[in-house]
C-alpha cells in the first residue's frame, strides 16, 4: 500500500516541489510581477494540491501545475494590480540595474511593460506563458483550457498589437 | 521592425527568468506542514480508504427499509392469521375488538387496548382493502358511525345477525367455529369491577 503511506506521500510531494517550484514561481511572476505575491501564490497552489489527491494522477506534470498556479494567480491578480505599476517600475530598475543601460532604453522597456499589462487578458496570458521556460503551445493550451491553435493565433495577435501600440506611442514622443 | 521584436523578447525573458528568493522549496514544505495540510491529507486518505465500503451500510439500510415497508404493508402473511382467515371473505373482517352485547356502560365505552405483534397488526390492516358484496350494499348512514360500529361495517357482529355469522363460521372451518364460540363465551362473562377505594387526602 505504497500510496497510502503518509511518509511516502510526503516524500513524493516533496519531490514535485523540488522539481517544479521555480517553474511555478515564474508562471506566477509573469502575471503578478512581484516576488512576494508570486511566492505566496506558489505556496497556496502547493497547499491546495496537497490537500487534494489530484496531483497523484497528473499526466502532464508541468501543464497541470502551471494551470493550478495560474488559476490562483488570476484570483490574486486584482489584489496585486493596485501596486503593480509601482512595483513593476521598481523591479524593472533593479533587474536592469546596470548603470550602462541608457535612460532611453529603460523608458522603452517600461513603456513596453505597461503596454503588455494593457493587453486584453486573452492575448496577454498566452504571450506571457509561452515565454516561460519554453512552454510549448500545447502546455499553454492546457493551462488556459483553449485549443493549441488558438494559443498560437493569440500569441501572434498579441505581438502584432503590442508592436502597433508601441510604434504609436513612440511616434507621439 | 526587428528592434521591437528584440526589445519585446528581452522584456519577456526578464519576466520568465525571474528567480525566487533562496529556499522556496523549503518554505513551501514548511507551510504545507504548518498549515495542517498533513493531517487533512491523512484524513482524506482515510476517507478515500473507507469510502469504498460505504455501499455496504447503504445497502444494509436499504434492505432494512424495504423489509419494514414490505412487512408493514401486509404483504407477508402471518401463519396464524392465515389459519384464522381461512378462505371465506366473511372471515376477512378486520381484527378489531367486537363490541360487547351488554348494555352500554362506562366500561364498554372505554377504548380497549390489545397488544398485537407486528405481523398480526399488518394482517389486521390488510382485510380493510377487501371489498365484499355486503360492504358495497351497505346503505349510506345519516350520521357518522359510532366507535363501537367502526371495524364492523357489514354489521355481522353485534346485532341479531350473530346467528348468521355462527352458521357461516360452522360451514367454513371447525377452527373458525371454535374461535367464534370462544369469543361468544368471553363476551357473555360478566365483567368484574373491583370496588374503588378513595383514600382521603391528609
DSSP per-residue string spanning A148-172: HHHHHHHHHHHHHHHHHHHHHHHHH
User: Which pLDDT value is given to residue A90?
Assistant: 40
Q: Across the interface, do B31 and A43 touch by the CB < 8 Å criterion?
A: yes
Given an 8 Å threshold on Cβ–Cβ distance, is A30 in contact with B16? yes
What confidence score (pLDDT) does residue A88 get? 43
Does residue A5 belong to the interface with chain B, where contact is any CB pair within 8 Å?
A: no
Q: What is the model's pLDDT at position A135?
A: 85
Q: Confirm whether the ipTM is greater than 0.95.
A: no
Number of neighbours of residue B173 by Cβ within 10 angstroms: 17
Positive or negative, the CA dihedral A166, A170, B2, B8 is negative
pLDDT in the model for residue B132 = 57
Distance CA B166, CA B87 (A): 16
Tell me if A39 and B11 make a contact (CB, 8 A cut-off): no
Decide if A133 contacts A19 (C-beta within 8 A).
no
Which H helix or E strand runs over B71? helix B55-72
* pLDDT (0 to 100) of residue A153: 94
Cβ within 8 Å, pair B28-A108 = no
User: What percent of chain B clears pLDDT 70, i.e. is strictly above it?
Assistant: 46
The pLDDT of residue B44 is 52
Q: What is the pLDDT of residues A59-79, one digit of tens each?
A: 888 888 998 998 898 887 665
**Grid cell 506558489 in the structure block, residue:** A42
Better-scored residue on pLDDT, A19 or B115:
A19
How many angstroms separate the first and last alpha carbons of chain A?
A: 68
Which of A127, A131, A135, A128 is closest to A153 using CA atoms? Answer: A127
Q: What is the mean pLDDT of chain B?
A: 68
Burial class (CB in 10 A: 0-12, 13-18, 19+), A139: buried
Per-residue cell: B19: 528567480
Buried b (16+ CB within 10 A) or exposed e, A81-98: eeebeebbeebbeeebee
| Measured distance CA(A5)–CA(A10) in Å, rounded | 9
Instruction: Give the pLDDT of residue B1.
Output: 54
Predicted pLDDT of residue A78: 62
Q: How high does pLDDT run on average in chain A?
A: 80
Residues of chain A in contact with residue B21, where contact means CB-CB under 8 angstroms, are 35, 39
Whether A167 and B1 lie within 8 Å, measured CB to CB: yes
Instruction: List Cβ neighbours of B22 (8 Å cut-off, separation of 6 or more).
Output: none
d(CA A100, CA A16): 40
* pLDDT digits 0-9 by tens, A102-150: 566 678 888 888 898 888 988 988 998 888 877 889 888 988 889 999 9
Q: Quick one: pLDDT at residue A41?
A: 92
Among candidate residues A133, A28, A135, the one with its CA nearest the CA of residue A75: A28
How does residue A98 score in pLDDT terms, banded at 50, 70 and 90?
low
> What residues of chain A, 31 to 90, have a C-beta less than 8 Å from chain B?
33, 35, 38-39, 42-43, 46-47, 50-53
Distance CA(B23)–CA(B25), nearest Å, equals: 5
Query: Quick check: B190 pLDDT over 70?
Result: yes
Q: Within 13 A of A61's CA, how many CA atoms are on the CB side?
A: 12
- Render pLDDT for B162-173 as a digit per residue (tens, 0 to 9): 677 667 766 777
At residue A19, the 3 state secondary structure works out as helix
Give the highest mean pLDDT range of A86-90, A112-116, A168-172: A112-116
> How many residue pairs from chains A and B have C-beta atoms closer than 8 A?
104
- Quote the CA–CA distance of B40 and A10 in Å, as a whole number: 13
Mean pLDDT confidence for B68-76: 74
Min Cα separation B20/chain A (Å)? 6
Q: Is A35 close to B8, i.e. CB distance below 8 A?
A: no
Is the pLDDT at B23 greater than 70, yes or no? yes
Say which residue, B142 or A167, is predicted with more confidence: A167
Cβ of A51 within 8 Å of Cβ of B15? The answer is no
Q: How confident is the model at residue A156, as a pLDDT?
A: 93
Amino acid A103: pLDDT: 66
Top mean-pLDDT range of A80-89, B15-24, B130-139: B15-24
Residue B21 contacts A where some CB pair is shorter than 8 Å: yes
> Are the C-beta atoms of residues B116 and B124 closer than 8 Å to each other?
yes
Lowest mean pLDDT among B79-83, B100-104, B157-161: B100-104
C-alpha cell at B116: 398485537
A14 Cβ under 8 Å from any chain B Cβ: yes
DSSP for residue B23: T
Amino acid at each position: 500500500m505504497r500510496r497510502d503511506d503518509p511518509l511516502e506521500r510526503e516524500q513524493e510531494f516533496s519531490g514535485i516541489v523540488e522539481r517544479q517550484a521555480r517553474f511555478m514561481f515564474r508562471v506566477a511572476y509573469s502575471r503578478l510581477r512581484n516576488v512576494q505575491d508570486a511566492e505566496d501564490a506558489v505556496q497556496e497552489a502547493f497547499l491546495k494540491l496537497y490537500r487534494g489527491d489530484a496531483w497523484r494522477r497528473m499526466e502532464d506534470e508541468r501543464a497541470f501545475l502551471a494551470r493550478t498556479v495560474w488559476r490562483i494567480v488570476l484570483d490574486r491578480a486584482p489584489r496585486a494590480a493596485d501596486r503593480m505599476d509601482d512595483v513593476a517600475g521598481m523591479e524593472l530598475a533593479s533587474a536592469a540595474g546596470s548603470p550602462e543601460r541608457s535612460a532611453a532604453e529603460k523608458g522603452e522597456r517600461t513603456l513596453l511593460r505597461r503596454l503588455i499589462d494593457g493587453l486584453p487578458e486573452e492575448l496577454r496570458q498566452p504571450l506571457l506563458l509561452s515565454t516561460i521556460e519554453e512552454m510549448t503551445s500545447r502546455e499553454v493550451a492546457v493551462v488556459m483550457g483553449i485549443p493549441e491553435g488558438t494559443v498560437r493565433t493569440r500569441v501572434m495577435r498579441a505581438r502584432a498589437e503590442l508592436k502597433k501600440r508601441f510604434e504609436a506611442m513612440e511616434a507621439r514622443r | 521592425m526587428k528592434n521591437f521584436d528584440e526589445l519585446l523578447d528581452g522584456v519577456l525573458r526578464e519576466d520568465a527568468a525571474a528567480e525566487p528568493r533562496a529556499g522556496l522549496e523549503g518554505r513551501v514544505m514548511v507551510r504545507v506542514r504548518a498549515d495542517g495540510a498533513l493531517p487533512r491529507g491523512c484524513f482524506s486518505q482515510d476517507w478515500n480508504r473507507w469510502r469504498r465500503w460505504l455501499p455496504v451500510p447503504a445497502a444494509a439500510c436499504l434492505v432494512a427499509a424495504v423489509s419494514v415497508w414490505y412487512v408493514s404493508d401486509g404483504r407477508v402473511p402471518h401463519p396464524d392469521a392465515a389459519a384464522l382467515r381461512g378462505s371465506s371473505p366473511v372471515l376477512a373482517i378486520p381484527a378489531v375488538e367486537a363490541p360487547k352485547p351488554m348494555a352500554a356502560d362506562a366500561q364498554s365505552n372505554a377504548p380497549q387496548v390489545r397488544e398485537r405483534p407486528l405481523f398480526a397488526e399488518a394482517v389486521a390492516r390488510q382485510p380493510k382493502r377487501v371489498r365484499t358484496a355486503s360492504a358495497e350494499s351497505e346503505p349510506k348512514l345519516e350520521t357518522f358511525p359510532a366507535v363501537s360500529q367502526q371495524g364492523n361495517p357489514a354489521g355481522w357482529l353485534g346485532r341479531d345477525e350473530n346467528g348468521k355469522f355462527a352458521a357461516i363460521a360452522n360451514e367454513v372451518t371447525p377452527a373458525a367455529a371454535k374461535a367464534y364460540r370462544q369469543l361468544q363465551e368471553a363476551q357473555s362473562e360478566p365483567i368484574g369491577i373491583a370496588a374503588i377505594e378513595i383514600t382521603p387526602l391528609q
